[in-house]
């Protein structure tokens, strides 16, 4: 069945019937091409959604103080809740097995000066672990460390754009800047994927900020990083028990929604991931539809091809072609065409995807790609069905009596 003579015969048939070959090959190639591109777009969509969250750590629960709206245990409503350093210690003491780290955040905006340059920057008083929560990348120097917190040093880590604003091309490390009237030494410069705003910030030890502000004990927000292995449900449970803990400690009515505000990244991430997955599902559905359309297309063409060749097959049978050789010829031809054009369509599709790269980012498609195994699987499916599609009419043709075929003018 696979002798050189057979192949020569098949090549001749393919060569001499270019339109037919082109049509069936084109159907298959287009089907695979569209499948690969669509599937890649789906993956690109997921990539985009993931990028939204990659800027910050994803195992973060942030607690914001609020104002109570319900009276509780003798306290009136409308009371401002405040966090302080003891809250941090209590969390660390009560929930150690769930936590990676805890960091406070005090947010201020100060006029910041260096020589003749000045500007208003958001200045944050934080602990060293805040670097992981915000995914701050140190470009040069260092981040804040434990000693800074302990000794309440006047050290600052500034954003890349702060350095550019105040120092131009010069190196900021080691220089002293005036932040809201106090002088800080710059120990590090960072960058952040979150955009320009996040690179126009100044990080200082939170204890130093507290010292400057009349040596108080207050913190604005508490950022809790849970262990990633808790998963979604673990994170939700932790959020709930932390909330209960705070409400109890701060004498907030358990049903008061406004005493403490909580933002849980895990929740938003999950929702977005679900949305992305649904989109991917829809795109895959359309992509598989394309494959099915391709299968139907190749089936139609094969039925037509066999019909068109009925007389030729009749002649061949009269000259001594066995049914097996008739089926074999048609089948090999169809598989040959679908394989070549299927692989071609797949390669073109992959080439298109890799050439797109980030050009479609405006349409929420980032780095579209397709697993090679998925692409190959789809191609093989189409080839197999192309073969089946060729086999059924070929078998029928092989059974036709030569006289019937020859009468078919």
Report the residue from 323, 348, 364, 367 that binds other proteins according to the rule CB under 8 A. Answer: 323
Alpha carbon distance 322, 327 (integer Å): 9
Distance separating the N- and C-terminal Cα atoms of the chain: 30
Among the listed ranges 87-95, 309-317, 352-360, 361-369, the one in contact with other proteins (CB under 8 A) is 309-317
- H-helix or E-strand spanning residue 140: strand 137-141
Question: Binding of other proteins at residue 401 (CB under 8 A)?
Answer: yes
- Asked whether the CA dihedral 13, 19, 25, 27 is positive or negative, the reply is negative
Among the listed ranges 12-20, 94-102, 136-144, 153-161, the one in contact with other proteins (CB under 8 A) is 12-20
Question: Binding of other proteins at residue 399 (CB under 8 A)?
Answer: yes
What string marks each residue from 160 to 199 as x (binds other proteins by CB under 8 A) or -? ----------------------------------------
Considering beta carbons, is residue 14 or 260 the nearer one to other proteins? 14
Report the residue from 85, 135, 270, 311 that binds other proteins according to the rule CB under 8 A. Answer: 311
Question: Binding of other proteins at residue 22 (CB under 8 A)?
Answer: no
Report the residue from 9, 84, 267, 367 that binds other proteins according to the rule CB under 8 A. Answer: 9
Question: Binding of other proteins at residue 395 (CB under 8 A)?
Answer: no
Residues in the chain, how many? 409
Report the residue from 2, 16, 116, 373 that binds other proteins according to the rule CB under 8 A. Answer: 16
Question: Binding of other proteins at residue 324 (CB under 8 A)?
Answer: yes
Question: Binding of other proteins at residue 307 (CB under 8 A)?
Answer: no
Q: Per the structure block, which two tokens stand in for 382?
A: 């189409």
- H-helix or E-strand spanning residue 313: helix 310-318
Considering beta carbons, is residue 17 or 253 the nearer one to other proteins? 17
Residue 370 CA, distance from chain mean position: 13
Measuring CA to CA, which residue among 116, 187, 113, 114 is closest to residue 154?
187
Question: Binding of other proteins at residue 402 (CB under 8 A)?
Answer: yes
Question: Binding of other proteins at residue 5 (CB under 8 A)?
Answer: yes
Residue 367 CB partners (closer than 8 Å, separation 6+): 44, 47, 357, 358
Q: DSSP per residue over 294-363, as a string? A: HHHHHHHHHHHHHHHTHHHHHHHHHTT--HHHHHHHHHHHHHHHHHHHHHHHHHHHHHHHHHHTTTTGGG
Binding stretches for other proteins (CB under 8 A): 5, 8-9, 12-13, 16-17, 311-312, 314-325, 398-399, 401-403, 406, 409
């Amino acid at each position: 069945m696979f002798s050189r003579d057979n192949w020569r015969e098949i090549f001749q048939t393919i060569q001499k019937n270019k339109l037919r070959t082109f049509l069936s090959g084109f159907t298959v190639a287009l089907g695979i091409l569209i499948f690969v591109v669509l599937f890649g777009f789906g993956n690109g969509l997921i990539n985009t959604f993931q990028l939204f969250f990659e800027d910050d750590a994803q195992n973060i629960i942030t607690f914001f103080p609020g104002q109570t709206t319900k009276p509780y245990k003798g306290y009136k409503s409308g009371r401002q809740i405040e966090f302080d350093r003891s809250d941090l210690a209590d969390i660390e003491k009560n929930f150690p097995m769930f936590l990676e780290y805890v960091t406070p955040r005090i947010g201020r905006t100060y006029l910041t000066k260096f020589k003749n340059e000045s500007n208003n920057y958001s200045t944050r008083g934080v602990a060293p672990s805040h670097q992981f929560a915000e995914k701050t990348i140190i470009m040069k120097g260092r981040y804040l460390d434990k000693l800074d917190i302990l000794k309440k040093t006047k050290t600052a880590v500034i954003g890349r754009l702060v350095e550019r604003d105040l120092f131009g091309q010069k190196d900021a490390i080691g220089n002293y800047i005036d932040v809201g009237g106090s002088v800080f030494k710059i120990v590090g410069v960072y960058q952040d994927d979150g955009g320009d705003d996040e690179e126009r910030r100044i990080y200082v030890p939170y204890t130093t900020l507290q010292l400057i502000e009349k040596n108080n004990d207050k913190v604005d927000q508490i950022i809790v990083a849970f262990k990633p292995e808790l998963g979604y449900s673990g994170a939700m449970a932790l959020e709930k028990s932390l909330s209960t803990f705070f409400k109890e400690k701060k004498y907030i009515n358990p049903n008061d929604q406004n005493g403490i505000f909580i933002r849980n990244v895990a929740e938003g991430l999950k929702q977005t991931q679900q949305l992305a997955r649904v989109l991917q599902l829809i795109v895959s559905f359309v992509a598989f539809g394309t494959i099915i359309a391709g299968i139907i297309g190749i089936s139609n063409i094969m039925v037509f091809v066999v019909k068109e060749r009925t007389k030729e097959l009749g002649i061949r049978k009269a000259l001594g072609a066995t049914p097996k050789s008739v089926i074999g010829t048609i089948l090999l031809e169809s598989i040959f065409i679908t394989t070549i054009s299927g692989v071609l369509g797949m390669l073109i599709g992959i080439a298109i995807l890799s050439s797109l790269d980030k050009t479609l980012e405006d349409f929420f498609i980032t780095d579209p790609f397709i697993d090679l195994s998925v692409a190959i699987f789809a191609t093989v499916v189409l080839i197999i069905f192309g073969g089946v599609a060729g086999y059924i009419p070929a078998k029928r043709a092989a059974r036709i009596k030569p006289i019937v075929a020859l009468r078919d003018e």
